[in-house]
Amino acid sequence: MKRYFIKELYQWKAQKNRKPLILQGARQVGKTWLMLEFAKEAFKNHIYINFESNSQLKNLFVKDFDMQRIIFEIFLATGTRPDENTLLLLDEIQEAPRGVTALKYFHEQVPQQPVIAAGSLLGIAMHQNDSFPVGKVDFLTLYPLSFFEFIEAVGKSQFVEALSNKQWSAMEPFASQLEDLLRQYYYVGGMPEAVKCFADERDTQAVRNIQLNILDAYDRDFSKHAPLNEVPRLRMIWQSVNGQLSKENKKFIYGFLKEGARAKDFELALEWLHDAGLVYKVHRAKKGLIPLSAYQDFSAFKLFMLDVGLLGAMGNVPPQSIINGNAIFTDYKGAMTEQYVFQQLRLSRNNVIYYWSAENSRGEIDFLLQRDDKILPIEVKAEENLQSKSLRAFVEKNPELHGIRLSMSYYREQSWMTNYPLYAVNVVF
């Protein structure tokens, strides 16, 4: 399976003053597979240690941070000596006491040693007992497969090439095929195991079983790793995402969880889910000016999940409603289409994502993107609906901006706005 993210790892390797790399990401997004694939491609040798399953080395860093001792013990346990040509992979590093802190000493004492550390709940561990190595590590975050990676996985890479070259007129005769692929992605999502199953077997029930198993694993993590008194709140937030996104006003409402619920009662639970990589906040911006962060409304946000396929599985959306018809673009358009677009926008570290809504009217811009020195107002339409009242009004008030509409219509450009088909999000941003 091809992962575009491997390019980021090659860029990390090429850095002159390379630091140990922390690879973040939710459980089962493919961190272990990607690390091993990169190690095989880019290094002469590699050593893989999983601190969750390797009891022999679990306490490797407890005694001290003497790197000569640590490297020698790794050599004794694995039969391979760490050196500058051997990539050291430290998986589930949060399970090793003082493991995160040890990365600082790899950087200071053996800077020539390439090290990648990863963990499913690494974000949680960073807020606990270990002293965090500020300035001594690099970070990258791995997400589920993009729509383009999904297209390649199911054997339609020619469409990726054509869309990447923005050959809009050439793609119009193939729009129905691309829409079918988009429907499939809405159902399957980007979790690697689900994508592989669909690519190999085209069995939608098998895909759904995988998705439900992943959701069950997340739920078990709540009970195992979260503070006991926060678990009920975690579940309430987690199970509400589908309903929150399905509302006409997609702003996260605490009262939707239970009557009388207040933000302060759920702040820790929400932060835990965010640190675990399971949910993402998109805050409201009061104005469409640079920098958007200066106009952030901390009290208003939308909440998205990590994967559109898991969103559908959580809502028990049947495959025939998505893959075999247009219901996905009507009944479920609010939740799944915005989740899909957000999921693609999030892939680029250059994108700073907000949304905008008027304080005293119903006008809303689904996403407000800051990219370098540009502000991009984005309206998302699940169908071929070409009415864009909110977007037009926003651009008229901010004439220096050019609007972007994502819909199921073909590419077209107007003086104030450009329409791109939803299946082209990966090349537009």
On whether residue 301 sits in a domain, the answer given is yes
Q: How confident is the model at residue 14 (pLDDT cuts 50, 70, 90)?
A: very high
Q: How far apart are alpha carbons 326 and 333 in whole angstroms?
A: 10
Q: Is 135 a residue whose pLDDT tops 70?
A: yes
CATH number at residue 134: 3.40.50.300
pLDDT value of position 55 = 93
Number of domains in the chain: 2
Examine the fold and report which residue of 141, 164, 184 is the final residue of a domain before the chain moves on.
141
Within this chain, do residues 163 and 214 fall inside the same structural domain, yes or no?
yes
> Which pLDDT score, from 0 to 100, does residue 385 have?
67
* Whether pLDDT at 13 is above 50: yes
> Backbone phi, then psi, for 165, in 5-degree steps?
-90, 0
Give the largest CA-CA distance in the chain.
68
Q: Are residues 281 and 311 in the same domain?
A: yes
pLDDT, tens digit, 9 for 90 and up, residues 198-234: 999 999 999 999 999 999 999 999 998 899 999 999 9
Task: State what percent of residues in the chain have pLDDT above 90.
Answer: 80
Half-sphere exposure of 250 (CA within 13 A, CB side): 28
Are 224 and 254 contained in the same domain?
yes
Q: Are residues 120 and 197 in the same domain?
A: no
Q: Are residues 153 and 113 in the same domain?
A: no
User: Is pLDDT at 80 greater than 80 in this prediction?
Assistant: yes
- Domain boundary at 126, 141, 156, which? 141
- Token pair 């906040």 is found at 281
Q: How far apart are CA 429 and CA 427, in angstroms?
A: 6
Per-residue pLDDT of 343-371, as tens digits, reads: 999 999 889 999 999 887 678 999 999 98
Q: b/e map of 5-14 (b: 16 or more CB within 10 Å)?
A: beebbeebee
The pLDDT tens digits for 316-339 are 888 877 776 555 545 566 689 999
Residue 1 lies in a domain: no
Query: Does residue 329 form part of some domain?
Result: yes
- Do 134 and 175 lie in one domain? The reply is no
- In a domain, residue 413? The reply is yes
CB 147 within 8 Å of CB 408: no
**3-class DSSP assignment, residue 190:** coil
The helix (H) or strand (E) run that includes residue 125 is helix 122-125
- Final residue before a domain boundary, out of 97, 113, 141: 141
In this structure, the answer to whether residues 113 and 183 fall within a common structural domain is: no
Provide the 3-class DSSP secondary structure of residue 172. Answer: helix
Task: Write out the residue range of the structural domain in which residue 53 sits.
Answer: 6-141
Q: Are residues 423 and 279 in the same domain?
A: yes
Same domain, 159 and 118: no
Same domain? 216 vs 362: yes
CA 428 to CA 278: how far, in whole Å?
25
- What is the rounded distance in angstroms from the CA atom of residue 14 to the CA atom of residue 9? 9
Q: Is residue 304 part of a domain?
A: yes
Q: Is residue 217 located within the same domain as residue 290?
A: yes
Per-residue DSSP letter, 359: S
Inside any domain, residue 11: yes
Is residue 162 domain-shared with residue 230, that is, in the same domain?
yes
